[in-house]
């Protein structure tokens, strides 16, 4: 069963980034154990500012966004698998179905620019 094994602790880092304050461990049914290391810098969800009222860069989905950023940045898996892990993690975090569906579609359609 997929789940986050550790608490997500962040601190501001620069204008638009956050720094992971302790290792984040996520046990994925798809990708196994994923560890995002302490001091990893993330922008959380990369959402254009015009959409922040509906899809802010932080929220229930933050842990999923951090894991997704880590997987993309390190090419830990192929892009399709990274996107599936993102959707799985948002489900674990109980992000509403409509919101996680739209966010998954966005990374599925535009993620190639960042992978």
pLDDT digits (tens, 9 = 90+) for 20-62: 999 999 999 999 999 999 999 999 987 777 777 877 778 899 9
Q: 3-class SS at 41? A: strand
CB burial string 48-74: b at 16+ within 10 A, e below: eeeeeeebebeeebbbbbbbbbbbbee
Helical residues (DSSP H) of 1-115, grouped into ranges: 62-74, 79-92, 97-110
Q: How many distinct structural domains can be found in the chain?
A: 1
Nearest-5° angle of CA 64, CA 31, CA 6? 50
Structural domain boundaries enclosing 54:
3-113
As a whole number of angstroms, the distance between CA 29 and CA 91 comes to 12
Give the mean pLDDT of 59-70. 95
Q: Band of the pLDDT at 114, cuts 50, 70, 90?
A: confident
pTM for the full predicted model: 0.90
């Amino acid at each position: 069963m997929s789940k986050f094994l550790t608490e997500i602790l962040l601190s501001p880092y620069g204008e638009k980034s956050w720094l992971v304050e302790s290792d984040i461990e996520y046990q994925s049914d798809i990708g196994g154990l994923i560890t995002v290391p302490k001091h990893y810098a993330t922008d959380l969800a990369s959402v254009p500012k015009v959409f922040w009222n509906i899809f802010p860069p932080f929220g229930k989905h933050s842990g999923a966004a951090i894991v997704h950023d880590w997987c993309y940045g390190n090419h830990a898996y192929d892009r399709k698998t990274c996107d599936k892990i993102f959707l799985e993690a948002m489900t674990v975090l109980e992000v509403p179905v409509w919101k996680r569906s739209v966010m998954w579609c966005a990374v599925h359609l535009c993620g190639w620019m960042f992978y």
